[in-house]
Amino acid sequence: MNKQPEKSANTVWHRATVTRQRREQKNAHKSAVLWFTGLSGSGKSTLAHAVEEQLHQSGMNTFVLDGDNVRHGLCSDLGFSDKDRKENIRRISETAKLLLEAGIITLTAFISPFKTERAIARSLMPHGDFIEIHCFCPLTVCEQRDVKGLYKKARLGEIKEFTGISSPYEEPEKPELRIDTSRLTLEESMQQVISLLRDRNILPLQK
């Protein structure tokens, strides 16, 4: 991975006249970052996209940052070493922060296995705007699902540093929401997320 360039002393943050608050008022809902984390196969992407679909149908402004999709563009130069995974999450965190300022409800679906990197992502957002959602699913169930065949390859040694097998996953200690995706249906899981957003007054704002 290339070394990060030094910051220029000649760059100054430009304060826009169109603020996050004005965008939220126009959208009639608050913005937030919903950070879905969990093992591969735990249902992060499926749940994030299902929540987005319901929010979109209700007129909310949303965007999903999906782990695989991001690695086709923004993070296409990164591998899966611990160092590259940390850089992957750093880039996603900064992107999510920009979308937060844009007044959008952003849903991120990444394994994001390390507590430190998730804590850094949280620290970038104003208090209360980062909602960590742990998609809990036992490793045995994730392996049984193995939609992409990745666990089989990892067990055979064809994939190195695979989370849950040869690389650790550090479970969140105090997520805003913990959903057992091995027991709940997609609909039940989705409604838990929507209920949390309503409880936190993220949607909707009164026009």
Set out the domains of the chain in order of their start, with CATH numbers: 20-139+168-198 (3.40.50.300)
Q: Average pLDDT of 36-49?
A: 96
User: What tens digit of pLDDT does each residue of 183-199 get?
Assistant: 999 999 999 999 999 99
Instruction: Provide the annotated active-site residues.
Output: 112
Distance separating alpha carbons of residues 167 and 138, to the nearest angstrom: 16
Q: Is the pLDDT of residue 165 over 60?
A: yes
Beta carbons within 8 Å of 69's beta carbon, 6+ residues apart: none
**Residue 67: its pLDDT value, please?**
67
Name the token pair of 129.
């705007």
pLDDT category of residue 2 using cuts at 50, 70 and 90:
very low
Distance separating alpha carbons of residues 112 and 101, to the nearest angstrom: 22
Q: Is 187 exposed, middle or buried (0-12, 13-18, 19+ CB in 10 A)?
A: exposed
Q: What is the mean pLDDT of the chain?
A: 89
Distance separating alpha carbons of residues 95 and 80, to the nearest angstrom: 20
Q: What pairs with residue 37 in β-bridges?
A: 134
Name the token pair of 202.
């993220």
**Residue 17: its pLDDT value, please?**
84
